[in-house]
Amino acid sequence: MTDTTALEKMDAQALRSLARQLLETVGTQSKALDERAIEIKDKELKIAQLTHEMALHRRWRFDKRSEQFKGLQGSLFEETIDADLAAMQTELEDLVKPEDPKQDKPRTQPKRNPLPAELPRTDIFHEPAHAMCGCGCALKRIGQDVSEKLHYTPGVFTVERHIRGRWACVQCESIIQQPVPAQVIDKSYATPSLLAHLLISKFADHLPLYRLEQIYGRAGLAIPRSTLSQWVGICGVRLQPLVDALRQAVLTQDVLHADETPVKLLKPGQGKTHKAYLWAYASGRFEPMQAVIYEFSENRSGENAKTFLNGWKGRLVCDYYSGYQGLFGEGKAIIEIGCLAHARRKFHDLYEANKSEIAQQALTMIGFLYDVEHEARDMTPEDRGRLRQQKVKPILRKMRAWLVLQRTKATDGTALARALDYSIKRWGALTRYVEDGRLPIDNNHLETRIRPVATGRNNWQFMGSTRAGKRAAAIMSLVQSAKLNGLDPYAYLVDVLERLPTHPNQCIQDLLPQNWKPQAQS
């Protein structure tokens, strides 16, 4: 009787355990289904958004109203829209990759003209590593497939002939052939060198595509602007994961620089431009990792900086623009580091305007501070900090007292009063660099990275769309970060575009400019 009761008790325990397991399994599967449903809904929303955006861009591109953009403005507008359409098409294809192989119908590819026969050709063979079949028999070469890629080194076009031999085993009747090498742009005839030159020319040398079309024509092949635009758009999509990883790397630094500069943004529906902004964030001048990230925004709202720096803690070097001031304050995680170059500029402008003796004295004292920085330029942060304590602190004490004295004599509202007020009111932020050898004296490190944008504005005139602005910001981030690390941006992009199609996502950090090493030549 006791044995029977124990057995029933064991059966009841087993049933309860089985029930718990079933409930846990059902709960796990239900959670997975809910997550899958959310993922599908998000994907459907993104697809609908892209489809709508593409329809809008096509209307802008081919509508009669697009004729209002004449001459150079019209050319730049068309380049931007074509690049945007290619980027959106690529993003859409990535989203709708079918899980059912039966749905994977190949897109109809337009037939392109063969590359000019007069261009020099280089044969690149892709053959099996072994001439023996798995069954032990010798393979026999029965043919080959040839694809031609357009290779470009500045000023010279050549053609790479990729030859993939077909090998057959008579015994087991199998055919072996090397696969088509992976490419950044599927089925494109452009090599990484040509794509890299295109991106460097557009986003580092600031050449519009109509000029590149002429340059390539002189080299032997006039590539249509529509094709160049499509390549730019697709490359922007493919490089975006690398830019995202670079952004995360920048936000791991303890010291950052921030600045912004205006650019014109074209509103196609209105046919007018308005002021947009390119924001820039760089790792501190003395930080071990050097990189810069550009962010495009349609306005100058401080929310842009707040969004980018959300969750970041550290010291931010910036000017006195109000958009940054909301980041600082008691209890907040970001500490303001002022830019002494901005304070100096106030006195410089005053001296240039009326040869003010007070402005000249201020410039002399600030000059002493920069003399110390020049002396400490190549020192370690520790030695730089000690030198500042020894030489800079005495200068700052005298300068502070002098500024306050001069302000008591200056008339309110004058340019002199404003120059003095700028330094006195921001004295804490302007002098905070003295306490840490890792902090810079000014924001010039980043302003140097902003300067190419000002140069480019004279060439490309405006951003043709919000997408174009974001794409330019992304690729400029890679180009300028490569320069910061002493790299040739062209060589860097050639290598990255060649490796990116087969590079593991979990190893994307290896391709960042600060980590990049060229592939060993075989």
Q: Scanning the structure block, which residue is given the tokens 């912004």?
A: 260
Summarize pLDDT for 118-169 with one digit per residue, the tens. Answer: 888 888 888 887 777 777 787 778 788 888 888 888 888 999 999 999 988 8
Q: What angle do the packed helices 71-95 and 209-219 form, to 10 degrees?
A: 90
Q: What is the CA radius of gyration of the chain?
A: 31
Alpha-carbon separation of residue 119 from 115, 193, 227, 461 (angstroms) = 8, 16, 20, 35
Q: Is residue 101 very low, low, confident or very high in pLDDT (cuts 50, 70, 90)?
A: very low
Q: Which of 259, 178, 325, 297 is nearest to 480 (CA)?
A: 259
Average pLDDT over residues 370-383: 95
Token pair of 110 as six digits: 């337009």
Q: Is residue 331 very low, low, confident or very high in pLDDT (cuts 50, 70, 90)?
A: confident
Most confidently modeled range among 65-69, 180-184, 289-293 = 289-293
| Residue 82 clears pLDDT 80, i.e. is over it | no
Q: Is residue 103 very low, low, confident or very high in pLDDT (cuts 50, 70, 90)?
A: very low
420-426: long-range contacts at Cβ-Cβ below 8 A with a sequence spacing of 24 or more?
Answer: 422/320, 422/342, 422/343, 422/346, 423/343, 423/346, 423/362, 424/400, 426/320, 426/338, 426/343
| Cα 46 to Cα 92: distance, rounded to the nearest angstrom | 8
Q: What angle do the packed helices 444-460 and 466-484 form, to 10 degrees?
A: 130
| Residue 439 clears pLDDT 60, i.e. is over it | yes
Most confidently modeled range among 34-38, 95-99, 144-148 = 144-148
Q: Are 282 and 256 in contact (CB under 8 A)?
A: yes
| Cα 371 to Cα 369: distance, rounded to the nearest angstrom | 5
- How are beta strands 156-169 and 121-126 bridged, if at all? parallel
Burial tier of 245 (Cβ tally within 10 Å: 0-12, 13-18, 19+): middle
Summarize pLDDT for 480-506 with one digit per residue, the tens. Answer: 999 999 999 999 999 999 999 999 989
pLDDT at 125: 86
End-to-end Cα, the chain, rounded Å: 81
Average pLDDT over residues 44-71: 66
Q: What is the pTM of this model?
A: 0.81
